[in-house]
Amino acid sequence: MNLSERTREALNEQMMREIGASYLYLSMAGYCDSIGFDGFGQWMHRQSSEEWDHAMRFRTYLEDRGARVDFGAIDKPEKNFSSMLEIFERALESEESVSAAIADLYAVARDEKDLATQTFLDWFVTEQVEEEKSVKVIIDWLKRIGDTDAGLYLMDQQLGGGISAASADSGSAQAE
């Protein structure tokens, strides 16, 4: 079954959205690095790579379905933030908008009776739950520690060590 033009366009838009998310995390990494929070910066870099990987999944899928990919323009990402909490709240906003876009894309695939695309999107539905959760855990942490240097230093060490959100959360319990 050929990919309908409507589904192709929606998949292509999502690929560009994922590239935009990668770009935003890269900009956030730059901000964290610029103020000396290398651990937060590494976490943002890892997220940026994951988003790039998501974009490439869409690209490969489009090509596997015999479609051409259109690379569009990417908006300039935000560059300056006022606090770590603000950065992560912005990251959550971005993840929530990606989740909503995946849901819309799923609806298009269902409308077009495109089972292969629905199955392809299942992975992203689960992935978005994980991504939103990991950002929310960090936001909770940041709210707990406030703007204290000691708390931010500890979080920076933990996030730089590649600790997942779930284990970071249990680490927080130990640190208290």
Choice from 8, 45, 54, 59 touching ligand FEO (CB under 6 A):
54
Smallest distance, ligand FEO to C-beta of residue 113, A = 25
Smallest distance, ligand FEO to C-beta of residue 98, A = 4
Work out whether 45 is an interface residue with ligand FEO (CB under 6 A): no
Measure Cα distances from 26 to 78, 86, 128, 141 in Å. Answer: 10, 16, 19, 22
Using an 8 Å Cβ cutoff, are 55 and 19 in contact? yes
Total interface residues for ligand FEO by CB under 6 A: 7
Window 99 to 128, contacts with ligand FEO (CB under 6 A):
none
CB 136, min distance to ligand FEO, A: 13
Cα–Cα distance for residue pair 57/17, rounded to 1 Å = 13
Phi/psi of residue 38, nearest 5 degrees: -65, -35
Q: Does 21 bind ligand FEO (CB under 6 A)?
A: yes
Q: At a CB cut-off of 8 Å and minimum separation 6, what does 52 contact?
A: 18, 19, 22
Q: Using the rule CB under 6 A, is 51 a contact of ligand FEO?
A: yes
Residues near 73 by beta carbon (within 8 Å), at least 6 away in sequence? none
Residue 168, both tokens: 């970071």
In the bound state with ligand FEO, the residue whose beta carbon lies nearer, of 98 and 159, is 98
Report the residue from 48, 62, 131, 168 that binds ligand FEO according to the rule CB under 6 A. Answer: 131
Provide CB contacts within 8 A for 103, sequence distance 6+: 125
Would you count residue 48 as binding ligand FEO (CB under 6 A)?
no
> Site residues (CB under 6 A) for ligand FEO?
18, 21, 51, 54, 95, 98, 131
